[in-house]
């Protein structure tokens, strides 16, 4: 799952890149197919190198309440990944709501960048699943001696998923593009990240790990499990 977002900042008043202006008017499902194709091209060699077996995740959008093998979820919450079915569940109500809530062009860029970041983050969980990290983390949290230690394990997992996700966003910043207003809104949203349950990491640490992925474009920098406790608060 992903943290909770705040509304977009005023931003700099220059037009969003053409890619964003030409997107759908959100009369249908969010445009996850193009980034999914790109993500499926970006990760196979890295997953294989790490000893995993690559396979594409399934993607399902939902509104209202959805029952999955991983539990029952509502569109009042964030998108999520279910490892047992290898499915990314994208919250259509949230994505459409964000896009339609604000009239200005820069605000719609924020909505699209938020959706892209969420999708890449959930794909990051899929990478963790394919490489055994998800299962190892589940065992680590199950064996945690205290609730605080269990929550720290959750934060390490979630911050790594964002780092993995932003490797993809950083690698495609020119072709996507993530420049101009899109880059401005991405920088804002990775910091303004609210962790109500203390299980995803605070804004400062989320910015740190997302920024490492975006800048380095190398999964070696995403080892949150070797980081100090202060870096995963």
Are the beta carbons of 195 and 152 closer than 8 angstroms?
Answer: no
Pick 34 or 208 by higher pLDDT: 208
Tally of CB atoms within 10 A around 13: 9
> What is the number of residues in the chain?
233
Do the beta carbons of residue 217 and residue 202 sit within 8 Å?
A: no
How confident is the model at residue 196, as a pLDDT? Answer: 87
Which class for 169: exposed (0-12), middle (13-18), buried (19 or more C-beta within 10 A)? buried
The gap between the terminal CA atoms of the chain, to the nearest Å, is: 17
Q: Indicate if the pLDDT at residue 1 is higher than 70.
A: no
Whether 160 contacts 133, CB under 8 Å: yes
Nearest to 167 by CA among 9, 42, 33, 26: 42
190: helix, coil or strand? helix
ω into residue 5 within 30 of 0, thus cis? no
Q: What are the tens digits of pLDDT across the range 134-192?
A: 999 999 999 999 999 999 999 999 999 999 999 999 999 998 899 999 999 999 999 99
Strand, coil or helix: 186: helix
Q: 64 vs 42, 93, 114, 176, CA distance in Å? A: 32, 8, 20, 31
Residue with tokens 């539990």: 71
**pTM score:** 0.88
pLDDT digits (tens, 9 = 90+) for 75-125: 999 999 999 999 999 999 999 899 998 889 999 999 999 999 999 999 999
Count of CB atoms situated within 10 Å of the CB of 160:
26
pLDDT at 24: 35
Q: Which residues, listed in sequence order, are joined to residue 233 by a DSSP beta bridge?
A: none
Q: For the chain, how are helix, strand and coil distributed in percent, rounded to 5?
A: 55, 10, 35
The whole-angstrom separation of Cα 97 and Cα 108 is: 11
Span 27-65, pLDDT tens digits: 444 568 889 999 999 999 999 999 999 999 999 999 999
């Amino acid at each position: 799952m992903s943290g909770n977002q705040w509304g977009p900042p005023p931003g700099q008043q220059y037009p969003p890149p053409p890619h964003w202006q030409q997107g759908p008017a959100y009369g249908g499902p969010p445009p996850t197919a193009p980034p999914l194709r790109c993500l499926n091209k970006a990760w196979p060699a890295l997953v294989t190198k790490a000893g995993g077996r690559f396979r594409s995740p399934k993607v399902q959008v939902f509104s209202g309440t959805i029952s999955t093998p991983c539990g029952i979820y509502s569109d009042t919450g964030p998108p999520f990944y279910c490892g047992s079915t290898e499915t990314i569940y994208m919250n259509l109500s949230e994505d459409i709501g964000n896009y339609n809530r604000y009239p200005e062009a820069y605000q719609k860029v924020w909505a699209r960048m938020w959706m892209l970041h969420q999708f890449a983050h959930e794909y990051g969980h899929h990478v963790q699943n394919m490489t055994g990290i998800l299962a190892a983390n589940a065992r680590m949290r199950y064996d945690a001696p205290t609730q605080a230690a269990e929550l720290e394990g959750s934060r390490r997992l979630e911050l790594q998923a964002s780092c993995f996700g932003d490797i993809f966003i950083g690698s495609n910043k020119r072709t996507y593009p993530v420049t101009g207003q899109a880059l401005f809104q991405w920088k804002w949203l990775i910091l303004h990240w609210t962790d109500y349950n203390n299980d995803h990491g605070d804004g400062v640490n989320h910015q740190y790990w997302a920024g490492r992925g975006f800048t380095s474009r190398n999964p070696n920098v995403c080892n949150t499990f070797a980081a100090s406790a202060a870096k995963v608060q």
